[in-house]
Structure 1
Amino acid sequence: MELQKRNNALYYNGHTVNGRTADIHITRRGSDWYFAVCAVMATAAFVFIGLAIRRHRRNRIFHYITAGVCFVAAIAYFSMGSNLGFTPIQVEFARSDPKVRGVYREIFYVRYIDWFVTTPLLILDLMLTAGMPWPTILFVILADWIMIVCGLVGALVRSIYKWGFFAFGCFALLYILYHLVWESRRNALRYGTDVHRTFVMTGALTALVWICYPIAWGVSEGGNVIAPDSEAVFYGILDLVAKVVFGALLIWRHRDIDPARLGLHIRDYDGDDYYTEKMHRNGVDGGGVQVPHHNGATNGHSNGAGVPGTGAPSHNPNV
């Protein structure tokens, strides 16, 4: 018997959710595209992990972050390819075009769950590269979450008020772009020409791609202008560039950059520095000899390992 190779996701997972049917939905071609993007995302994630294994554990932070971005995106695209993670929402603008004619449009909320997890990681990649302080990083990530949540709420609103959430999201995006093209770029220059060039290349790519997301939102979830299959291609290309291409460029540029230069002093759990500090905390010196503990300079005694009351260093060979 000949094996069936046809994608039957739309047959098994229909377009009806909570008693409503999305009459504006993806076709099998859109489902195939989502599965193809899922495969690319998963492959890229495994490649990034493979490249991480070739480096010391202290130098894998950017590999792990970028691989995590692609893994999460692969799960989201698998969900959308399976025609899952959506809800039918009544459109604000009814169109006469047969491709977008209908009452309820398929809105994939799983896409926003993906962005809520992955876009802060992308920002973390960029701002760690620029050596930005943690308070600034956290505040920019908060702005990113505001942008994503506003996009999701706006997509789920059927009335004209959706554009108010769209405006709030765009305002948050402008703040993020300001940091990418100005504050973080200037700060990256402090760490050397190679670090600055790495940030400029990856930051410029991110800024250019992220500007296109509001356009995609406006012609799909917002304005119901393009068909869900075209929406899939639009968002899919943007995500591939923003995650896979960005990740490959970032890791390639970081190949000769020590994270310690960026203020990321990461200690390995089986490194010499880890055991040295652990033994010091336990009162053992480098030769395995127990070091006596002192409570400080009290009653005329010194606060170190010196002779009590004199401040002179001890001559005890066991210290």
Structure 2
Amino acid sequence: MDTTDVLLHWGYVAVMALSAVAILVMARNPKGVPQYKYMIHAFVVIWSGLAYSALALGQGTVAVGGETVYFARYLDWVVSTPLLLLSLVLTGKYTLKLEGSITAGLLGSQIIMILTGLIADLSATENRWFWYIAGCVALLVVFRLMWKELYAKAKIQGPELTAAYKASAVYLSVQWLLYPLVWALGSPGLAVFNPTLTSVLFIILPIVSKSGFAFYNLAKLRALPDHLHQGAANPRTAKEVLHAPVYS
């Protein structure tokens, strides 16, 4: 990598480090939000910063077909994006007990999306578009679960929680639509963007989708009324909520 690329990645690491400190400071005054929410977001930015440190140190890349593949990005994403989805699940089921099927479907599909992207990037032939399309299909499964099954769980908990979930889901949906778009137009795909611009975009997008989402999501939850925070401390099943609603 050239000097500009190295400086860009160190700048990213600095943003992640500052974000981790800020999240942990917020956790000292959680305002009713469970501590695990803060810890998830702290782990996301800490791991992402460590993964990008490899790139800043000249590691985490491999040459394939004369092109540089930044595989450290995928090592970041395969850990951090499932954690972001877990945070979204815990938002959508804020006062509900965590049940397995929706969560497993979301996390499994997200991991498939990331790993097929890595295989696509490592493919030096047209096969990469097969893996790219497979990843896009996995993303569609994620969106289906986010906007149907998980959204339905959020709605039974009342309008305040529904609004917080919807805002958070929109935020992540936009970000996750931009990732495959940048990949397709950037140096791994059609090369409409040169490698430097591709690197810049893959630095800006993770900052917005990781640090930005952490503060946005936590702000939405911190603003919820007390009865929802009490519900989060004593979660119930969806059936219990439907048969004995206390939210309005």
How would you bin the TM-score normalised by the shorter chain?
A: 0.7 to 0.9
Residue in structure 2 matching 1:150, options 116, 119, 133 = 116
Asked if the contact 1:34–1:78 (Cα under 8 Å) also holds between the matched residues in 2, the reply is yes
Name which of 72, 76, 84 aligns with 2:51.
76
Distance 2:178 2:42 in 1: 23
Distance verdict in 2 for CA 1:177–1:64, change over 3 Å: same
**Partners in 2 of 1:157 and 1:199 — Cα distance?**
37
Which secondary structure state, in structure 1, belongs to the residue aligned with residue 156 of structure 2? helix
Shift of 1:256: 4.5
Length, aligned pairs only: 227
Contact 1:220 1:227 in 2 (8 A): yes
**When you count helix as a share of all residues, which structure comes out higher?**
2
Query: Could you tell me how far apart the structure 1 residues matched to 2:99 and 2:146 are?
Result: 14
- CA apart distance, 1:181: 2.6
Equivalent position of 2:208 in the other structure = 241
> CA 1:206/1:58 → structure 2, altered by over 3 Å: closer, same or farther?
closer
- Whole-Å separation in 2 of the counterparts to 1:264 and 1:112: 36
Matching residue within 225, 231, 239 for 1:261: 231
Aligned residues of 1:130 and 1:262 also touching (Cα < 8 A): no
Gap runs ≥5 in structure 1: 1-25, 91-103, 266-319
TM-score (norm 1): 0.67
Question: Matched residues in 2 for 1:174 and 1:226: separation?
Answer: 25
Deviations 1:29-54 (A, max 9, x none): 12211111111111101110111122
| Deviates further, 30-39 or 132-141 | 132-141
Distance 1:68 1:77, change over 3 A: same
> How many Å separate the matches in 1 of 2:231 and 2:32?
16
User: Is the counterpart of residue 166 in structure 1 residue 132 in structure 2?
Assistant: yes
Matched, 1:130 2:97: no
Which structure 2 residue ranges, 5 or more long, are not aligned? Answer: 236-248
Q: What amino acid does structure 2 have at the position aligned with 1:191?
A: Q
- Whether 1:32 aligns to 2:2 is no
Query: How far apart in 2 are the matches of 1:70 and 1:43?
Result: 9
Does the CA contact (< 8 Å) of 1:48 and 1:66 recur in 2?
yes
Contact 1:65 1:125 in 2 (8 A): yes
Corresponding letter in the other structure for 1:39: A
Q: Are 1:55 and 2:38 an aligned pair?
A: no
Aligned to 1:300: none
For 2:200 and 2:234, how far apart are their aligned partners in 1?
A: 38
Per-residue deviation, 1:88: 0.4
Q: Indicate the larger mover: 150-159 or 133-142.
A: 133-142
Q: Given residue 106 of structure 1, which amino acid in structure 2 is its aligned partner?
A: T
Between stretches 114-123 and 247-256, larger displacement belongs to: 247-256
TM, length-normalised to structure 2: 0.85
1:215 to 1:75, Cα distance in 2 relative to 1, 3 A? same
In the TM superposition, residue 119 of structure 1 has moved relative to its aligned partner by 0.5
Q: Tell me whether 1:112 sits opposite 2:82 in the alignment.
A: no
Q: What one-letter code is carried by the residue in structure 2 that aligns with 1:118?
A: S
| 2:21 equivalent to 1:46 | yes
What secondary structure, in the 3-state scheme, does the structure 2 residue paired with 1:106 have?
A: strand
- Secondary structure at the aligned position of 1:54 is classed as coil
Equivalent in the alignment of 1:14: none
The whole-number CA distance in structure 2 between the counterparts of 1:56 and 1:212 is 32
Give the Å deviation of 1:127.
Answer: 1.0
Question: Paired residue for 1:203, among 166, 169, 179?
Answer: 169
**Structure 1 position 263, deviation (Å):** 7.5
- Which residue in the other structure is 1:291 paired with? none
- What is the aligned-residue RMSD (CA, Å)? 1.9
> Is the deviation greater in 145-154 or in 72-81?
72-81
Q: CA deviation at 1:60?
A: 0.7
SS state of the match for residue 64, structure 1?
A: helix
Greater RCO between the two (CA within 8 Å, min separation 6)?
2
Query: For 1:237 and 1:226, how far apart are their aligned partners in 2?
Result: 15
Point out the structure with max Rg over C-alpha.
1
